[in-house]
Chains A and B, each alone.
Chain A
Amino acid sequence: MDLSDEALIANYRQTKDPACFKSLVRRYENRLYNVAIRIVGNAEEAEEVVQDTCIKLHQNIDKFKAQSSFAAWIFRIAHNTCLDKLRTKQRRKGFNLFVFDPQSTHDSEGVDTVMVISQAADPTPNPAETLDMTERGEVITASLKKLPENQRTVVVLHDIEGFSYQEISSIVGANIGTVRSRLHYGRVKLRELLEPYFERTDMTPASR
Chain B
Amino acid sequence: MESTNAICKQIEESLDAFHDGELTATEQVLTEEHLQDCSACIKKLAEIQRLVHSLKAMPRLQVSDGLSSKLDQIVDRPNNAVAFRPKIWMPVAAAAAVLAIAFGVRSGLPGTNDGAPTVAQSPQMETQSVGDPRTQVAAIHGTKPGQLAQQVPPIAGANKVLSQGTRPSDRAEETVQQHKREVRHNSITATADHGATQVASVAPDKHTPVKATVTTSYEIDNEQIAELPATTNSFTDAVGFATDEDGLYDIKM
Q: Which residues of A contact B (CB under 8 A)?
A: 18, 21-22, 25, 29-30, 33-34, 37, 47-48, 50-52, 54-55, 58, 88, 91-92, 136-137, 140-141, 155, 158-160, 162, 164-165, 180-181, 183-184, 187, 190-191, 194, 198, 203-208
Contacts and interface: CB of A to CB of B under 8 A. Distances in A.
Nearest to A179: B22
Contacts of B52: 159, 187
B51 A51 contact: no
Nearest to A12: B75
B137 to A, nearest CB: 54
A159 B55 contact: yes
Nearest to B46: A206
B55 A51 contact: no
Interface in B62-105: 62-64, 67-68, 70-72, 74-76, 78, 81-82, 85, 88
B75 to A, nearest CB: 4
Contacts of B81: 51, 55
Q: Lowest 5 CB-CB distances: which A-B pairs, in order? A: A159-B55, A18-B75, A21-B75, A184-B16, A206-B46
B71 A50 contact: yes
B87 to A, nearest CB: 8
Contacts of B59: 137
B9 to A, nearest CB: 12
A34 B47 contact: no
A94 B74 CA distance: 33
A169 B48 CA distance: 21
Given A47-B67, A48-B85, A140-B54, A30 B62 contact: yes
A191 B58 contact: no
B56 A184 contact: no
A187 B50 CA distance: 11
Contacts of A33: 61-63, 67
Interface centre among B15, B47, B48 (most CB of A within 10 A): B47
B245 interface: no
Contact of B64 (A47, A136, A180): A47
Given A158-B20, A159-B56, A190 B74 contact: no
A160 B13 contact: no
Interface of B: 13, 15-17, 20, 22, 46-64, 67-68, 70-72, 74-76, 78, 81-82, 85, 88
Contacts of B20: 158, 165, 183
A137 B53 contact: no
A160 B17 CA distance: 16
Given A29-B67, A58-B74, A183 B16 contact: yes
Contacts of A54: 71, 74
A140 B58 contact: yes
Contacts of B88: 88, 91-92
Contacts of B54: 136, 140, 194, 203-204
B63 A30 contact: yes
Given A194-B54, A198-B50, 19 more contacts: A22-B75, A25-B74, A25-B75, A30-B62, A48-B85, A50-B63, A50-B67, A91-B88, A136-B54, A136-B57, A136-B58, A140-B55, A141-B58, A159-B55, A160-B56, A165-B22, A187-B48, A187-B52, A190-B51
* Main SS class of interface, A: helix
A25 B72 CA distance: 8
A58 B78 contact: yes
A138 B52 CA distance: 16
Nearest to B72: A22
B16 A180 contact: yes
A125 to B, nearest CB: 18
Given A33-B63, A50-B63, A198-B50, A180 B58 contact: no
Contact of A30 (B22, B57, B60, B78): B60
